[in-house]
Structure 1
Amino acid sequence: MVKKTLLLAVIFLVFGQSFGQSYSLDARVASLKVQSAHLEMEGENIQGETIGINNQYLTMDGEPTILITGEFHFSRYPNEHWKEAIQKMKAGGIDVIATYVFWNMHEEQEGVFSWEGDNNLRQFIQLCAANDMKVILRVGPFCHGEIRNGGLPDWLLGKMLTIRSNDPEYLKYVDRLYHQIGIQVKGLLFKDGGPIFAIQLENEYQHSASPWGLTYPAQPFDFTAAERDRQLTQEGVSISKEENPYAELGNQHMSVLKSLAQKNGLNAPIYTATGWGNAAVIKNETLPVQAAYPYPGWAPAEPSDFYLYKNLQKNPDYGPVRYNPEDYPYIAAEIGGGIEGTYTRRPVVPAKSLEALINRFLGSGANGIGYYMYHGGITPKGDEFYFNDEAYGYPKMEYDFQAPLSAYGKPRESFYRLKTLHYFIHSFGEMIAPMVLPIDPPSGNPYKPEKVRYSVRSNGDEAFLFLNNFQDHKQRKDLENLQFNIHLNDGRIQIPESGGISLNKDENAILPVNLQLGNVRLNYATAQLLTKGQNRDGEFYVFFAPEGVQPEFSIAASEEKIVKAPNCMIDKSSQRVLIKPDKLPAEISIQSKTETLHFLVIDKATALNCWKVKNAGDDFMIITDAMVLDKNGQFDLISKDKNNINIQEYPAKGELKASKGNLTRLSNPGDLLASYKLELKAIPIDFPVEYKGNKMSIDLSSGMPHGPDDIICRVHYTGDTGQGFLNGKLVIDDFYKGIPWEIGLRDYLNQPSPGKLVFYFRPMYKNASFLQDLDPAKIPEFDERGQFLKIGTPEFFPEYKVSLTF
């Protein structure tokens, strides 16, 4: 374990490329003092649990930690499904939920506050507490969040006051809002043993704003910012090089907001502030957090720097910033977990881009990971208007954001890819957080196909090597025969020992270097650590081979240890044991006098389907393409469409039981993995579909059929926009961007008289500006009028849910 009082610094020197594909890195360290006295942020709750912060990382009960935060807006999701949503986020490896309190959704009419139904903040926070989920509460008053006026109520525009300033009349209304929020979360703050450990004040203050919703067609935007700040107001997250002459007034306003929050009982160990692009920060009293949006709809579609390693603590993204970045840990709170399209711009975020982005953040010194959004939703309609920001041209209802969990809580490919990294952070974050990264990682140019991008974080004795071969808006090439020489305090380690490794285009990898795992010194592995576990058979570590990489393991030799590795090539010398699996999965067992360690080695496709669960204190890996919700001794499987589900278990106990269906064990005693096939009764789904001109209807009058947990409807069309009406009321809409439009039907089917879900589609136009964001293969041949519309046959997928026990 790394000593808490020691900050480790790496002096990173690139000696140069010696043999075309060979790279040498000096990862020896010099100690550097960890500083925390200057930061007025820490806390202890009634159970004696503590939260702290220094200039490098956060601590939980004194231990370094890397928290993983996912944005989820409770008011954009049906309250009857909040518990399930929280459990799904937890299954994906999320530790913390960040959520906005949108002022205009709670006080649409002046003086009339709504905290019921989908606005029930207290119920949501209580559910987070019940599911051991921490919370960052984003209290505004300005939020943005693609909400009308950025969350400010319309009636505020009709008041004689200056918004987002220290105008006493404006602060009177903010004070009233904070008072109401304080009532809702009373007893749920960290100090009381509750989940709210951090509170965000304002959002992008003196950086960006939203247009007021009360506007006229073609009228220039009138931004929700104080008049003094409007000249420098940005339309989205971006670089802001100009200094605001009213910066000090902005910092003072943030201090006033903090005082108002504390006055109204909103007390937390940590207060955060969005710090990018010269935004306002209270020095030493708010933790500035950062962002990264490689696929923004508000900027040109061009390669970004977000996939290049650098020292983020010295050179933050979206710099310059209004604070000394080396005074704070680097926390990335708004990594674009997807993006919301506007009518004129519709970027599509590839799943592999997110995986590579997190690799880059960890390999650039970040000690906090946060996604905006992680779970999508549907924005409700207000009494007088749609709450989604219509002035900016967002969908009226849909807020899917292409997030890892969709607007209906369905996992995307990005959910599975990010989960592999979240498991890694959970298992090794305490080790990584104090590790220091290179002074100057050789990152290169996003426009040029460099041979390799790499970085290292080290404590001098142990290290992780980061590799990335992905770039947004630019094709990369497969990389071959890469070799790295890592210089640590005890000498040099060459990876691999002979030959080289390959890294496919769009792939990334995090390789362990000289790690002490129990009594075993792992010199290196050309496989990535997924997680670790403990059970009555000992400790186990799970590794996976990145695509295109041949896994091999070099273990320091010892006469005391016995290495067993069936189906592996083993080469022993006086210095090391080199192990290369012939096929995957494989298990390497290292036995000493005091313990036995097991290394499970799998391919990446299998790693994406791995789920870590507990039973009677023991850790198990469940491998299945169904979603797994762990409930400690019981776990739920949620399977889209498949009623025959393949399941594997490691370690192979072979004792699973299902609450329904026919569960058959396929493996034999002694097999590495216990294998099962679960057969559930198939549920046929067939709703009558009609077409008329630009419209299509799905008859839901039969209601929700018995059996499925949900029914997913995939709507196929090629056009401009689609809108769905139930009983004449708009309930969902979509901007075509060449990816499937999937709708969860259960809430519509469970209504008293669902009737028909009627879709209205509009044709795509040849001169549409969003065509720049489409895959060229998805752009059709337009007719003589310059239009195109094709409506396909919808598909229906029943979602099966079953509980399993050990």
Structure 2
Amino acid sequence: MNKAYALGVLLAAGMANAETLLRIDASAPAKTPLENQLQMGASVSPAGVKLGVNSQYLTRGGKPWLPVMGEFHYTRTPTAEWETELRKMKAAGIDVVATYVIWSHHEQRDGQFDWKGQRDLRRFVQLAAKAGLEVVVRMGPWVHAEVRYGGIPDWVVNAMPTRSNDPQYMSHAERLYQQTAAQIKGLLWKDGGPVIGVQLENEYNLDGPGEGAAHISALKALARKAGVDVPLYTVTGWDQTVYPSGEVTPVFGGYPDEPWAKSTKELPPKETYAFRFDSRVSGDLGAQTSRKGKGTADTDMESTPFLGAEYGAGLPFMYRRRTVVSPDDIASMLPVQLGSGVNLIGYYMFHGGRNPMDLTSLEESSLSGGYNDTPMISYDFQAPLGPDGQQRPVLAKLRPYHLFMRDFGDRLAPMTVRKPDVTPAGPEDLATPRFALRSKGDSGFLFVSNHVRQYAMPAQKQLRFSVQLPGSTKTFPRQPVDVANGSYFIWPVNMDLDGTRLSYATVQPVARLDNGKAGITYVFAANAGVPVELAFEGAAANRLSAPGARIAKAGSEADGDVVVEGITPGTGAAVTIQRGQKPPVTLLVLTPQQAESMTVEQFAGQRRLVLSAQQTWFDNGALRMRSDGDAEFRFAVYPALPKAPKSSVALRASTDGVFQAFDAKLPERRLEAKITPVREAKNIGPVVVGGLAHAAVQPIPESFRNAAAWRIDLPQGEKNALVELDFVGDIGRLFNGTRMLDDWYYSGYGWQFAVEHAGKGPLALSVLPLRADAPIYLPKEGRPDFGGKQQVAQLRGVKITPVYTLAVQP
């Protein structure tokens, strides 16, 4: 038996009440980054700000930079919604928006490009800049994106070889790049614009004549020839990718499940939840081509930084496998990725959407030779922001980590990953504690995760950590803690709080606010079930005040630290540190729920912390809020606003700890839909197994002649609402007349559609029956009760959820 696994079993068995000391050696010097390893483009803005990249991390203005990037496809969202949705992304802690240029969305016919309306890349990039976001343009030509032929137009695929240096293909690729370059001309970083990088191709591991590194080199040359001169040129680095070393930097990813897999059962524990110390590729990411042997990214680990582009902020539904993920399934990946050395978190997708429909659909399907069957229109992806701008619960789980990276990423990025003395034997080892440290000098961050999707982890009992640093060994916390199944967090080690050393803390850093003459505020988030313990350097003893808490001198094992215990998380000031003539430093320790409700943005002249259970974002100085189904709003602001804010309805002011709190209520709206059965479902034949994957294949279009159908009459004159369609079956399709508005694979995950996009008149819903013997994967929570019948096609209800919005002017 593997020694690490054996230790894990003993720990899980619980050596009754015994303290478990987990050791990690961080005494070696941090790695020195290598410069000039990558040949990138123009990196200095007209204002003199340089964006750089070394072998370990990105830099901005000479400082380490650890941004958060989120994917949002402009062609999959109505133009009128772009600005608001980009601002929502900014408020969610996103720094960079990434977007695919889907070739077939722009050039369906040879030589006839369409960059208007929903395809207006230039307008999208301009609005991203207005929202305060940088941009990475993923130029293709092949993008995947669950689009037919990876986005390469039909007329190209039918006429010539693709994804190689074939002269005919490259002439069309060059034209695409020139068209794309014209759209972003004047918007590059060197011009003072937001475009900081481009991705060439996608999931590329071909390596034959005119392919591989030669093809990526040729594409980069075409981009530069077209005028795309940017600080970053990237390629996806997974599945044995091949590229010219030194000319591009690879980006990586990981998903909590594999909708493209063939299994109709739960998959083994995913590598995405395991800390990585010797590799960067997190298992199978679904490349459409295969190759054996190591790729360039494997041999480039010492010369390129660990950057991400496709960490799943959700998952798509594919016909044969309809995985539903929880918010914790997604958010628990963050401590693991950061603890493994990732220095750019890039999400795919952060904002869901819908495929544009013209004469035909362009989705990936087995009918067109694709490996997967995907919905014709829906590209929901279970994303943090849904296709209609709705905030999903996962966003609240992710945002504290984004804020942490925004305010403390410059400290984390140069830190080296440290491997524990004992590590799990592999992703399937659920018993051995999972943790890592990143440190530089005597400072660091501890990353812990005890969550693996669909697998119960044993509670880790009575844990303490022993970290050997260059100057000392730090053992903490003073009181051992239990880490429950599903827990995950980041703790600081020797963190500088503007002149005072926080030796360690059992709370997670989230944000830092500079309040000018009022001082500095550090915001932390408590971890559920873990007592709050803050340890400060002994010299700070006489400068600390912590009302309602205990301040005690620690033993020699903690280097004489002063430990603050008994803090109740909440909105009050947990600790105040006096600094003589300088303004004080205040520590807030929020509850996990409060931390998940917080945003930090410029508001009323300075960066402020806003707490609200409602969706919040900022637009031209105003705080904007959205509530789906609840007419009551509540938000709290810190520091307090200089004057009473204004809104279209009365704001009732109160105090909540150090926060200024407000309540408001809008007139309540009760909305109902009328449902009329149109036809019953007929019996359908067995699901066909075949296609490239040799798995369940989506029924052919003619199968819908057997679908059940209902007429849905919406409330007259109502636009600001969501239609929620609760059906059970195989595939649902929503129509206005003969125009398909949306479609959905049943999985148990809720289907919503914005009323404002429904058009005039009644809607029609058709539901293809789901057979009890269908060889598809459904989560057990969504598996319907067939009641002994061969198939099911039901509409259990249609709910109209009013959407309330509130604007607050400071």
Counterpart contact for 1:479–1:502, Cα < 8 Å: yes
Equivalent-residue separation in structure 1 for 2:509 and 2:324 (angstroms): 29
Deviations 1:482-541 (A, max 9, x none): 1111222231222111x3112221120100111111121111110111111111411001
Please name the residue that 1:172 is paired with. 171
Deviations 1:676-721 (A, max 9, x none): 221222223233332333323322472335xxxx311221122212
Counterpart contact for 1:379–1:388, Cα < 8 Å: no
Equivalent-residue separation in structure 1 for 2:525 and 2:535 (angstroms): 15
- CA apart distance, 1:439: 4.5
Counterpart contact for 2:437–2:447, Cα < 8 Å: yes
Please name the residue that 1:250 is paired with. 212
The one-letter code sitting in structure 2 at the alignment partner of 1:252 is A
Secondary structure in structure 2 of the residue aligned to 1:733: strand
Secondary structure in structure 1 of the residue aligned to 2:539: coil
Counterpart contact for 1:310–1:443, Cα < 8 Å: no
Secondary structure in structure 2 of the residue aligned to 1:162: coil
The one-letter code sitting in structure 2 at the alignment partner of 1:794 is V
Please name the residue that 1:222 is paired with. none
Query: What percentage of residue pairs aligned between the two structures are identical?
Result: 31
- CA apart distance, 1:312: 5.2
Please name the residue that 2:245 is paired with. 283
CA gap of 1:440–1:167, structure 2 versus 1, over 3 A, is farther
The one-letter code sitting in structure 1 at the alignment partner of 2:522 is Y
- CA apart distance, 1:654: 8.2
Counterpart contact for 2:259–2:321, Cα < 8 Å: yes
Please name the residue that 1:495 is paired with. 476
CA gap of 1:316–1:33, structure 2 versus 1, over 3 A, is farther
Task: Indicate whether 1:305 and 2:271 are aligned.
Answer: yes
Please name the residue that 2:223 is paired with. 261
CA gap of 1:663–1:312, structure 2 versus 1, over 3 A, is farther
Alignment counterpart, residue 342 of structure 1, candidates 311, 314, 318: 318
CA gap of 1:127–1:284, structure 2 versus 1, over 3 A, is same
Alignment counterpart, residue 441 of structure 2, candidates 435, 442, 460: 460
Please name the residue that 1:746 is paired with. 756
Please name the residue that 2:717 is paired with. 703
- CA apart distance, 1:544: 1.1
Alignment counterpart, residue 646 of structure 1, candidates 625, 634, 638: 634
Name which of structure 1's ranges 761-770 and 557-566 shifts more when overlaid on structure 2: 557-566
- CA apart distance, 1:598: 0.5
The one-letter code sitting in structure 2 at the alignment partner of 1:457 is R
Equivalent-residue separation in structure 1 for 2:506 and 2:360 (angstroms): 59
- CA apart distance, 1:784: 4.7
Deviations 1:77-133 (A, max 9, x none): 101101011011111111111111111111101111111110111111111121121
Q: Any residues of structure 2 matched to 1:219-618 within 5 Å, and which?
A: 244=207, 246=208, 249-299=211-261, 300=263, 301-311=267-277, 320-322=294-296, 323-389=299-365, 391=367, 392-439=372-419, 442-497=423-478, 499-536=479-516, 537-558=518-539, 561-572=542-553, 575-585=560-570, 586-587=572-573, 588-593=575-580, 594-618=582-606
Tell me the number of residue pairs that the alignment of Structure 1 and Structure 2 aligns. 742
Equivalent-residue separation in structure 2 for 1:80 and 1:38 (angstroms): 42
Counterpart contact for 1:701–1:756, Cα < 8 Å: no
Deviations 1:30-79 (A, max 9, x none): 25332122211251122212111111001111111112111111001101
Equivalent-residue separation in structure 1 for 2:103 and 2:78 (angstroms): 18
CA gap of 1:573–1:163, structure 2 versus 1, over 3 A, is closer
Equivalent-residue separation in structure 2 for 1:181 and 1:552 (angstroms): 53
Superposition RMSD in Å: 2.3
Deviations 1:250-293 (A, max 9, x none): 21111111111111112212110111111121210101111212
Name which of structure 1's ranges 575-584 and 277-286 shifts more when overlaid on structure 2: 575-584
Secondary structure in structure 2 of the residue aligned to 1:187: coil
- CA apart distance, 1:789: 2.8
Task: Indicate whether 1:769 and 2:775 are aligned.
Answer: yes
Alignment counterpart, residue 663 of structure 2, candidates 668, 677, 680: 677
CA gap of 1:259–1:153, structure 2 versus 1, over 3 A, is same
Secondary structure in structure 1 of the residue aligned to 2:630: coil
Equivalent-residue separation in structure 2 for 1:558 and 1:783 (angstroms): 70
Task: Structure 2: state its 5+ residue gaps.
Answer: 1-6, 285-292, 681-707
Secondary structure in structure 2 of the residue aligned to 1:524: strand
Deviations 1:285-333 (A, max 9, x none): 1011112122111224221221111225677756933242211001121
- CA apart distance, 1:360: 0.3
Name which of structure 1's ranges 362-371 and 616-625 shifts more when overlaid on structure 2: 616-625
| TM-score relative to the length of structure 1 | 0.88
Deviations 1:587-640 (A, max 9, x none): 211112023111111110111101113235433211111111124742111111
CA gap of 1:129–1:653, structure 2 versus 1, over 3 A, is closer
Q: Any residues of structure 2 matched to 1:98-247 within 5 Å, and which?
A: 98-159=98-159, 161-206=160-205, 244=207, 246=208
More relative contact order in 1 or in 2 (CA 8 Å, sep 6+)? 2
Secondary structure in structure 1 of the residue aligned to 2:634: strand
CA gap of 1:380–1:388, structure 2 versus 1, over 3 A, is farther
Deviations 1:422-466 (A, max 9, x none): 000001000000000115672443323314211100112111111
Counterpart contact for 2:87–2:619, Cα < 8 Å: no
- CA apart distance, 1:379: 0.2
CA gap of 1:314–1:471, structure 2 versus 1, over 3 A, is closer
Equivalent-residue separation in structure 1 for 2:481 and 2:420 (angstroms): 24
CA gap of 1:656–1:504, structure 2 versus 1, over 3 A, is farther
- CA apart distance, 1:158: 3.1
The one-letter code sitting in structure 1 at the alignment partner of 2:238 is W
Alignment counterpart, residue 724 of structure 1, candidates 729, 734, 742: 734
Counterpart contact for 1:302–1:473, Cα < 8 Å: no
Equivalent-residue separation in structure 2 for 1:576 and 1:36 (angstroms): 39
Equivalent-residue separation in structure 1 for 2:38 and 2:209 (angstroms): 21
Counterpart contact for 1:446–1:471, Cα < 8 Å: no
Secondary structure in structure 2 of the residue aligned to 1:418: helix
Please name the residue that 1:241 is paired with. none
| TM-score relative to the length of structure 2 | 0.88
- CA apart distance, 1:135: 0.8
Equivalent-residue separation in structure 2 for 1:385 and 1:563 (angstroms): 64
Please name the residue that 2:694 is paired with. none
Equivalent-residue separation in structure 1 for 2:651 and 2:782 (angstroms): 42
Secondary structure in structure 2 of the residue aligned to 1:97: strand
CA gap of 1:589–1:437, structure 2 versus 1, over 3 A, is same
Please name the residue that 2:782 is paired with. 778
Alignment counterpart, residue 803 of structure 1, candidates 783, 793, 807: 807
Please name the residue that 1:82 is paired with. 82
Equivalent-residue separation in structure 2 for 1:477 and 1:559 (angstroms): 38
Secondary structure in structure 2 of the residue aligned to 1:792: strand
Counterpart contact for 2:237–2:281, Cα < 8 Å: no
The one-letter code sitting in structure 2 at the alignment partner of 1:450 is A
Please name the residue that 2:289 is paired with. none
Alignment counterpart, residue 758 of structure 1, candidates 764, 768, 771: 764
Counterpart contact for 1:698–1:757, Cα < 8 Å: yes
Task: Structure 1: state its 5+ residue gaps.
Answer: 1-13, 207-228, 230-243
Name which of structure 1's ranges 443-452 and 351-360 shifts more when overlaid on structure 2: 443-452
The one-letter code sitting in structure 1 at the alignment partner of 2:322 is R
The one-letter code sitting in structure 2 at the alignment partner of 1:659 is S
Name which of structure 1's ranges 111-120 and 641-650 shifts more when overlaid on structure 2: 641-650
Deviations 1:147-181 (A, max 9, x none): 1111111111332x321111111111111111211
CA gap of 1:191–1:582, structure 2 versus 1, over 3 A, is closer
- CA apart distance, 1:195: 1.0
